[in-house]
Structure 1
């Protein structure tokens, strides 16, 4: 048992649950570990009130699978968990199966085969927790963010929720929000890791640090230039707006309002800025915003939004409730028949049907061996992601996934973009199952 370090950075092998290793160990002992299996990731339902889901985190997952290797430190940590033969097997483990799935930035619906993992039982069972932890988190954030982008109706949104979540989750959330259409993030690690634009200037502490508000604004403008954003609600907002223009001149870039009746305050601030000659100064609103609050501000003179807690927590739906289920063993469909957690056996694919106008009309889920008729405007949704444990060339970049989602949302029937409760934007039809 040698145990080599992971080939591309820190190992992800222990980002898993113990029972996956005990199943692998038992399978190695009785010979079932080598049986060819297919696992699928899907969601039985959408979160309450949601009309669609957004696939996010696929790129992170594929990169993490490549780092799912057991080096010396990982093996030492497992010495009391599994037997010596299993440790020897883990020392040489490298996922060598296939992965297919919905491309990142794709919409999904109840029963959609979001990810399909094919390989030996031992190969594939080890990836359950890794796949679900990434996809459930990132997809939940992306779905919430997409609803906010729709509500904003073209006005840019900055993701600023790092202080409201785990430090690692903050980076993943910034990526998922950007994929969903947010313009920027306040999180610097996400810029380094994912090349996401960042934004941010000063908090209330900066104003409180100075002896008076004008001194704080003047210092910020001197350091960052007049195009900066000044936070004007530390004391009296109306006086703050007046001092902001005094400090920066009529070329002030923006003011930010973070509390109070945001709609009314935005109207008052716009009138005041215009009267002071700062007609091009933008108004940024933040402070416990979610998709509903953003929608309620659509008619107000707002130029952009800052969203924190609600987006990094999925705006009330912090998980996408995806599951990872065994659906095929040695080519034979298998399925769980529990009344409350029923699954459909056999490897599946999906076709999305469209009108000639480009509007999507339904999701057809079917066994891979029984492909339905595909019309001239229809599209097979899953794509190859890994073959033999290697990434398929030409996988979409984050920017391409962002554009894919934008186009997918355009194809949704208008009623499917409503924030109110209702049926999924597209019905899922199970054909031949």
Structure 2
């Protein structure tokens, strides 16, 4: 049985339900919206990730006996009774996974009763904020890498469950594989890995280590060549594996200089097809700086799983419309300085020119904006009458991201700090 996700929430969500039940307003129709007020400073676009995980978590959002027992001293008996029968019964629309987003993009629109929807705030925000931060950083890295593959290898630099989610999000944004085996098992993310410095140090000589690895894993393996002296290790690697050696990995030093020297050495030894993989605390800027270096792939860890300086996306979840006493939905909005929201149910499309290049994020308030013929609708049904309808294979999200990023203006590829690549227009 799937473990309940109902306690992955904040105390005040349940006390709001208690007070609304007592006031008779809990069943008022309501529209909540999850959106970013801004992009992380300097970023040109963001990437939506975590949609599939959020849908899984929503299905497991049940207040079973164990959960209710933990809430005995949190809410009153009437609220406990309501929670015992809780099943989200409304509709959820959202940007599909892998889509790019801009400031004020209505990433998730939840239509239900107030009580039904308000309890989902923390669950949705925690998943979307984390996964989208990782995917946004990963997209910049894969953009900088071009056709060279990126491998996610940050599991040892974050919480053990965050590591699994990060591997999934990175794959959505174009990473070729992950070192994380749980991500492979849960989500089908391809995994890869060979050896660490400890394996070399275990053996009496570097040659013994290389021979043991090649004997077990084959000549197509990747040998780590910077435990002692790089030039000696490269020579040994080719002697042991032959010119058909799969790859060598560099994990320290001036990677541009080392990669150039190693490429020359490999070619001189006849290992012209042996690839060079680099690791060592890489981010999108380091990857971009190696564009002209003879590097064949990148292993990225710490900077990826921490969002490359932006570990959260800054999404918020706000009530934007609710029914009055007459049952008619009316816009509502928070107006506090620097933390305002725009009232009304939102609809969104990506405005594109005749060549298919994105020109603006167009958000209709209260009604869908008019498609001029070249535009693309962004919101899709995720949940209908409480039933998940938006689940899809992870590879579909990966393909969508490649498409969505490709239609952005060329400025989206810039690593320099800048404004959002296209404006957000409210109609």
For 1:151, the equivalent position in structure 2 comes to 144
CA contact (8 A) 2:211 2:240 kept: yes
For 2:397, the equivalent position in structure 1 comes to 401
Q: Deviations over 1:100-144 (max 9, x none)?
A: 011111111001100011111110000000000000000000000
Q: Deviations over 1:214-249 (max 9, x none)?
A: 000100111111111000000101111111111111
Q: CA RMSD in A?
A: 0.9
How far apart are residue 263 of structure 1 and its match? Answer: 0.5
In the alignment, the residues of structure 2 paired with residue 70 and residue 21 of structure 1 have an alpha-carbon distance, to the nearest angstrom, of 12
In the alignment, the residues of structure 1 paired with residue 297 and residue 425 of structure 2 have an alpha-carbon distance, to the nearest angstrom, of 39
Matched, 1:60 2:53: yes
1:120 equivalent among 113, 120, 125: 113
1:278 equivalent among 266, 271, 277: 271
Q: Which runs of 5+ in 1 are unaligned?
A: 1-7
In the alignment, the residues of structure 2 paired with residue 348 and residue 261 of structure 1 have an alpha-carbon distance, to the nearest angstrom, of 50
Runs of 4 or more consecutive aligned structure 1 residues displaced over 2 Å after TM superposition: none
TM-score normalised over the length of structure 2:
0.98
Counterparts in 2 of 1:236-247, with a 5 A limit?
236-247=229-240
For 2:326, the equivalent position in structure 1 comes to none
In the alignment, the residues of structure 2 paired with residue 427 and residue 309 of structure 1 have an alpha-carbon distance, to the nearest angstrom, of 31
SS at 2:351 equivalent: strand
In the alignment, the residues of structure 1 paired with residue 380 and residue 97 of structure 2 have an alpha-carbon distance, to the nearest angstrom, of 10
In the alignment, the residues of structure 2 paired with residue 140 and residue 272 of structure 1 have an alpha-carbon distance, to the nearest angstrom, of 39
Matched, 1:308 2:306: no
For 2:384, the equivalent position in structure 1 comes to 387
How far apart are residue 416 of structure 1 and its match? Answer: 2.0
CA contact (8 A) 2:348 2:369 kept: no
Q: Deviations over 1:188-224 (max 9, x none)?
A: 0000000010000000000011111000010011111
How far apart are residue 344 of structure 1 and its match? Answer: 0.5
For 1:77, the equivalent position in structure 2 comes to 70
How many residue pairs match? The answer is 422
CA contact (8 A) 1:43 1:320 kept: yes
**Segment drifting more, 118-127 vs 395-404:** 395-404
For 1:251, the equivalent position in structure 2 comes to 244
In the alignment, the residues of structure 1 paired with residue 152 and residue 422 of structure 2 have an alpha-carbon distance, to the nearest angstrom, of 28
TM-score normalised over the length of structure 1:
0.96
SS at 1:341 equivalent: coil
CA contact (8 A) 1:417 1:425 kept: no
Q: Deviations over 1:150-185 (max 9, x none)?
A: 000110000000000000000000000000000000
CA contact (8 A) 1:282 1:302 kept: yes
How far apart are residue 274 of structure 1 and its match? Answer: 0.7
How far apart are residue 368 of structure 1 and its match? Answer: 3.3
How far apart are residue 396 of structure 1 and its match? Answer: 3.1
CA contact (8 A) 2:363 2:426 kept: yes
1:219 equivalent among 212, 223, 240: 212
Q: Which runs of 5+ in 2 are unaligned?
A: 324-328
In the alignment, the residues of structure 1 paired with residue 309 and residue 395 of structure 2 have an alpha-carbon distance, to the nearest angstrom, of 27
In the alignment, the residues of structure 1 paired with residue 184 and residue 260 of structure 2 have an alpha-carbon distance, to the nearest angstrom, of 33
SS at 2:214 equivalent: helix
CA contact (8 A) 2:363 2:369 kept: no
SS at 2:26 equivalent: helix
For 2:363, the equivalent position in structure 1 comes to 365
SS at 2:335 equivalent: coil
How far apart are residue 397 of structure 1 and its match? Answer: 1.8
For 1:288, the equivalent position in structure 2 comes to 281
2:340 equivalent among 339, 342, 359: 342
SS at 1:32 equivalent: coil
In the alignment, the residues of structure 1 paired with residue 74 and residue 49 of structure 2 have an alpha-carbon distance, to the nearest angstrom, of 32
